[in-house]
C-alpha cells in the first residue's frame, strides 16, 4: 500500500541539470500513480525559460529519450520542434508535458517497451503538476501540441479544425499546433506546422492583422468532460 502525501518528494530524483528542478511541484499523486514507478522516472520533465517565457509548449508525454534524459522533447520529435523554433526565431520558451513520466507498454510483437497514450486517470494524476508548472512559468502563450494537450487544457474539438486558432480560457492564451511526432509521420504537414509557428510569432510581435480562423472548439469546465483523450 502506497502512502499518499500531500507534498510527496519524488524519491531519488536524478538531477540532470539545474534548470530541471527550478520549480516546486506538488507531486502529490506520484506515490500512487501507475506511471511513477521508480527513480528512473522524472516527474520534473520540463525545461527552458521558466520565468515568463513567450511560449510554454505542452506535449503529451515523455518517450524513451525523454525518460532517459529527464527532459521533455529530446528525441526525434523534440529535435524537429527545436529546429523549427530556431528557424522561426522563437527563443523564449519552456517545454512540458501533460504527464511527466513515460507511459509505456510491452509491444507484444517485439517484446520491447514502447510508448502508449496516457490514460485519463494518469492525466488526472499529473494535473496538479502541469497546473503548477503553468502557474509558476506564467507564459505569454501556451502552444498545445496535439489533441491530448489541447483536451487537457479544456479545449474540446479537433486539432485539424482548431490549429493556429488562439483560444483564451482560464489557462491563458492557447494556440493548438500539430504535434511534431505527427509531422514526422506525415511530413507534408510541415507547411501547416510552420504556418502555426509563424502565427504564434506574429502574436508575439503584436501583429493585430493576423486572421484568427474560427475553429469548432468548445471550452469545457473540467478536462474530464473530454472523454476521449486521443
Ligand atoms: N512527445 C511528447 O509529447 N513529449 C515529449 O517530451 C516527447 C515526445
Count CB atoms within 10 A of the CB of residue 202.
13
Tell which atom from ligand 1 comes closest to the C-alpha of 98. Answer: 3
26, burial (CB in 10 Å: exposed 0-12, middle 13-18, buried 19+): middle
Q: Which residue has the cell 506515490?
A: 31
Atom of ligand 1 nearest to the CA of 95: 6
Going through 39-130 in order, the beta strands assigned E by DSSP cover 47-48, 55-59, 93-97, 104-106, 113-115
Is 78 a pocket residue for ligand 1 (Cβ < 6 Å)?
Answer: yes
> What pLDDT does 41 receive?
75
Separation CA 144–CA 148 (nearest Å): 8
**pLDDT per residue over 19-42, tens digit each?**
445 788 888 888 889 898 776 777
Q: Is 66 in the pocket of ligand 1 (CB under 6 A)?
A: yes
Cβ(60) – ligand 1 distance below 6 Å? yes
- Is 5 within 8 Å of 26 (Cβ atoms)? no
Q: What is the pLDDT of residues 41-94, one digit of tens each?
A: 777 889 999 999 999 999 999 999 999 888 999 999 999 999 999 999 999 999
Output the pTM of the full model.
0.86
Amino acid at each position: 500500500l502506497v502512502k499518499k502525501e500531500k507534498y510527496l518528494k519524488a524519491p531519488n530524483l536524478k538531477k540532470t541539470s539545474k534548470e530541471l528542478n527550478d520549480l516546486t511541484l506538488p507531486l502529490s499523486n506520484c506515490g500512487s500513480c501507475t506511471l511513477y514507478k521508480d527513480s528512473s522516472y522524472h516527474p520534473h520533465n520540463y525545461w527552458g525559460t521558466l520565468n515568463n517565457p513567450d511560449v510554454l509548449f505542452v506535449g503529451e508525454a515523455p518517450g524513451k529519450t525523454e525518460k532517459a534524459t529527464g527532459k521533455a522533447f529530446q528525441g526525434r520529435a523534440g529535435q524537429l520542434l527545436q529546429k523549427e523554433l530556431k528557424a522561426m526565431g522563437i527563443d523564449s520558451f519552456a517545454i512540458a508535458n501533460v504527464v511527466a513520466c513515460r507511459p509505456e507498454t510491452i509491444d507484444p510483437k517485439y517484446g520491447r517497451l514502447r510508448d502508449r497514450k496516457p490514460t485519463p486517470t494518469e492525466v488526472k494524476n499529473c494535473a496538479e503538476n502541469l497546473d503548477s508548472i503553468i502557474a509558476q512559468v506564467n507564459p505569454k502563450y501556451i502552444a498545445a501540441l496535439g489533441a491530448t494537450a489541447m483536451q487537457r487544457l479544456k479545449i474540446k474539438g479537433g486539432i485539424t479544425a482548431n490549429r493556429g486558432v488562439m483560444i483564451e480560457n482560464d489557462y491563458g492564451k492557447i494556440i493548438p499546433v500539430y504535434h511534431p511526432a505527427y509531422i514526422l509521420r506525415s511530413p507534408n504537414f510541415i507547411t501547416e506546422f510552420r504556418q502555426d509557428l509563424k502565427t504564434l510569432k506574429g502574436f508575439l510581435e503584436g501583429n493585430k492583422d493576423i486572421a484568427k480562423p474560427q475553429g469548432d472548439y468548445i471550452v469545457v469546465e473540467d478536462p474530464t468532460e473530454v472523454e476521449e483523450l486521443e
